[in-house]
Amino acid sequence: MTSEGSPGWHGTTILAIRKGGEVVVAGDGQVSLGNTVIKGTARKVRRLSPGGRDVVCGFAGSTADAFTLLERLEKKLESLPGQLARACVELAKDWRMDKYLRNLEAMLIVTDGRDLFVITGAGDVLEPEHDVAAIGSGGNFALAAARGLMHADLPAEEIARKAMAIAADICVYTNGNLTVETIKG
C-alpha cells in the first residue's frame, strides 16, 4: 500500500483465526524500508478496551496512519458501546468521505470475539469467509496456510502460529517475531 512519494514501507502480516469459541489475531514484527529491515520487533496487534469491552485490532500499512485509525475506531466504539459492526461501518464511512482520512494508507483487522472484520481505506467493511482473515504483504501466504490448517485438530492459536511461520518463510517482508492476542467469543 504505497503511493506516489511514499518511502516504500513494507513488512506486515496480520492474521485472524476464529475457531473453538475464540478469535486469535497474530502479527509479525518486521518493518522494512525498501529492502532494509528497520525494526524486527514492532507490535502491530493491539487490544483496545473502550467502554470496558475488549476489542483486538491488527494493522498493516503506515504506522502513523494505522494509529490515527485506531484512535478514531476507539472513539466510535466509545460512542457505540457493544456495536462493533456499526462502529466499523462509521469509521469506514469517515475514512472514505473525510479529505484528511482518505489519504491514510492502512488496513485493519478488528474483532470483539464475536464479530471479525477487515476495514479498508476504500470504505469496505468485510466479514471474512471461512473464519480466516489476513492483510499485509504476507497476508495471502498466511491466509492460504491458515485455511489449509483450519480442518486440522488444532486450536486457533496453533493454526495462527503455524500459518505465520509459513508466511515468514515465504515473504521477505515478514518475520517470526509474533504478537498474538486471543479474545473469547
| Enzyme catalytic residues | 12
Residue 174 annotated as lining a ligand binding site = yes
**Cβ(69)–Cβ(95) under 8 Å?**
yes
Q: Is 133 annotated as a binding residue?
A: no
Residue 168, marked binder: yes
d(CA 77, CA 88): 8
Torsion, CA 69, CA 74, CA 75, CA 76, rounded to 10 = 90
Residues 13/138, Cβ–Cβ less than 8 Å: yes
C-alpha–C-alpha distance, residues 58 and 67, integer Å: 11
**What are all long-range contacts of 132-135, with beta carbons under 8 Å and residues at least 24 apart?**
132/15, 132/16, 132/17, 132/18, 133/15, 133/16, 133/109, 134/13, 134/14, 134/15, 134/16, 134/109, 135/12, 135/13, 135/14, 135/58, 135/60, 135/107, 135/108, 135/109
Residues that constitute the known binding site: 168, 171, 174
Residues that constitute the known binding site for Na(+): 168, 171, 174
